[in-house]
Amino acid sequence: MLALLEGQRAAGPVSPLLLALLAALLFGASTPASKLLLGTLPPLHLAGLLYLGAAAGMLPVALRDRRRRPRKPIDRRNLGRLAGSVVFGGIVGPVLVLLALRRSTSGSVALLLNLEIVATAVLGVALFREHLGRLGWGGVAGGLAAGALISAGSGWPGLRAGLLVAGACLAWGLDNHFTALIDALGPAEAAVWKGLVAGGTNLTLGLALEPAHPALGAVLGALVVGVFSFGLSIVLYVVAAQHLGATRAQAAFASAPFLGAGLSFVLLGEPLGWEHLVAALLLVAGVALLVLDRHEHAHVHPELEHVHSHRHDDGHHLHVHPGLAPSVRHTHVHRHEPLAHAHRHLPDLHHRHAHRG
């Protein structure tokens, strides 16, 4: 995994995109796995164990990064972003999805999770200074149409599950933007903090509100799912989002619901209806439009100091490391001098400027 996070020499945005896809594969498997675990674990208990597993799995990586890399003090802005990520992404979102899984099939819930990209895109434009053109808004419309089709096809239980998933996707949309903007913590360290606080909170609430004595196998299963589907997935997604922007990284991550739905239909024997197939086509088209929606204009970069994974052949990181090839990805605290230029760009850490019109 460490080889994926730094030391890469792949050209252009390929490496961040592949990281986002791998994160999606790991997260997609969590939907049918959670459906099975809900047979023995209440939602709050399961949500807590999943995130505690994520923290345990990423702790060795975070400790290694803490020893090897210079650290930037966590200022109030980054602390607020981390708190928002923990509350919305680690507490609110998972619990709402697990409640939806109690009311609907995991295949339907998995496909509905594509509403996350819609929420991320709309929130990005409304609150986080991202930009969407005609293609991007077309992708948003496709995602909304697919979500409505799946929810309406299952009657009132489906609508209730759809509303719960929509609420979770709104929470995760906020989490995506907060996570993409954290530039004072490494991805693994952010995942550990998120897992410890969110997991501990959910498990404590679960034990207080709904005492249970689950089998050891179910507890261990939840922790293992948390290590891979939440811990490793979060770290890989953070790296991708810092380079692609939250909306575009989420477009690649949108393959996760399709994987989760496929596993649900094949392994759990859930029924596959025409509405699932039509919705899947709408979602694929919507994701494609969001990926294709990019823009170019003259813009100014102010002076900035932060820490994140970067390369020196992208036109933005102009400091020099003797003996290090420009194509090698690495992480450290660095400063940007003011810069003005024009190029095709994404809303990553360096392109959060305002857009008129």
35 and 71 housed in the same domain: yes
Does 282 share its domain with 326?
no
Cα–Cα distance for residue pair 207/210, rounded to 1 Å: 6
Range of the domain at 324: 299-345
Q: Which residue has the tokens 């380079």?
A: 243
- Domain boundary, last residue among 263, 281, 297: 297
Report if residue 27 sits inside a domain: yes
Element (H, E) at 342: strand 339-345
Is residue 338 located within the same domain as residue 258? Answer: no
Residue 2 counted as domain residue: no
Half-sphere exposure of 250 (CA within 13 A, CB side): 34
Same domain, 73 and 170: yes
Please tell me the predicted confidence (pLDDT) of residue 309. Answer: 64
The pLDDT score that the predictor gives to residue 2 is 42
In a domain, 7, yes or no: no
Asked whether residue 282 falls in the same domain as residue 310, the answer is: no
Residue 354 lies inside a defined structural domain of this protein: no
293 with 326, same domain: the answer is: no
Looking at the domain assignment, is residue 10 inside a domain? Answer: no
Same domain, 144 and 293: yes
**Does 197 reside within a domain?**
yes
Q: Are 349 and 238 contacting, i.e. CB atoms less than 8 angstroms apart?
A: no
Write down the pLDDT at residue 136: 77
Stated pTM of the model: 0.69
Distance CA 239, CA 187 (A): 7
Do the domain assignments include residue 356? no
User: According to the model, what pLDDT value does residue 10 have?
Assistant: 41
Number of separate domains in the chain: 2
Is 6 among the domain residues?
Answer: no
- Tens digit of pLDDT at every position of the chain (357 positions): 444 444 444 444 446 778 888 888 888 888 889 989 998 999 999 999 999 999 999 898 888 877 766 566 678 888 898 999 999 999 999 999 999 998 888 888 887 887 887 888 888 878 876 677 788 788 778 877 877 777 665 555 568 888 999 999 999 999 988 887 777 777 788 889 889 999 999 999 999 988 878 889 999 999 999 999 988 887 787 777 767 666 667 667 777 777 788 878 887 777 777 777 887 788 778 777 776 766 565 656 566 666 666 667 666 677 777 777 776 666 767 776 776 655 555 555 555 545 554
* Max CA separation in the chain (angstroms): 64
Mark which of 279, 297, 315 sits at the end of a domain: 297
